[in-house]
């Protein structure tokens, strides 16, 4: 069956041809290349490789024992076991690198460790969100009012002036 369009005859398109033309549309979903599964797998392998390499460079802090010790600090906050968990962590791994664990250390009873945590957090302060900054300022304010150690109290008061 032929149609007249602008004076030219053209053939009626079959459904197969219509479908083929749809597939060539830039808006049609593109068929994934045959190597897509291979590339996704290699991407996953590279991510895994990078994660393992990062752990290697982290040393002791890249182990599962470190993760467990850090989780223990979080889990035991506000309990009798908190002091032991923090002491164990600090003895084995030193001062933590992440903001959340450092903020938990502000509740520790050893004022020297709290001073170290405050100093480390002051260095990370500018990179934190507004809510985290406000929480930190409030915690330092509380330390400035309630700390039993005069050095810690003075340090907290000085820090408040610079924040």
Tokens of 149: 């150690």
pTM, entire model: 0.59
Cα–Cα nearest to 103, from 145, 131, 67, 64:
131
- 127 and 120 in contact (C-beta within 8 Å)? no
Rounded mean pLDDT for each run of 10 residues along the chain, 163 residues in total: 56 82 66 63 81 69 81 89 91 87 89 90 89 91 89 89 84
Q: Could you report the per-residue pLDDT of 29-76, keeping only the tens digit for each?
A: 666 555 666 667 788 888 887 877 766 666 666 678 888 988 898 898
Say if residue 107 is exposed, middle or buried (CB neighbours under 10 Å; 0-12, 13-18, 19+).
middle
Q: How far is CA 52 from CA 57, 63, 94, in A?
A: 9, 10, 22
């Amino acid at each position: 069956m032929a149609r007249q369009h602008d004076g030219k005859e053209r053939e009626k398109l079959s459904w197969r041809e219509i479908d083929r033309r749809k597939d060539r549309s830039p808006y049609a979903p593109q068929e994934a290349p045959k190597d897509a599964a291979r590339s996704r797998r290699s991407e996953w392998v590279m991510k895994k490789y990078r994660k393992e390499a990062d752990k290697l460079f982290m040393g002791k802090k890249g182990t599962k024992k470190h993760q467990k010790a850090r989780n223990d600090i979080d889990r035991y906050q506000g309990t009798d076991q908190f002091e032991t968990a923090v002491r164990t962590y600090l003895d084995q791994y030193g001062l933590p690198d992440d903001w959340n664990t450092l903020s938990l250390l502000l509740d520790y009873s050893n004022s020297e460790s709290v001073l170290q945590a405050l100093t480390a957090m002051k260095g990370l302060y500018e990179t934190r969100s507004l809510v985290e900054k406000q929480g930190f300022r409030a915690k330092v304010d509380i330390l400035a009012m309630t700390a039993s150690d005069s050095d810690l109290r003075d340090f907290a008061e000085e820090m408040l002036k610079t924040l």
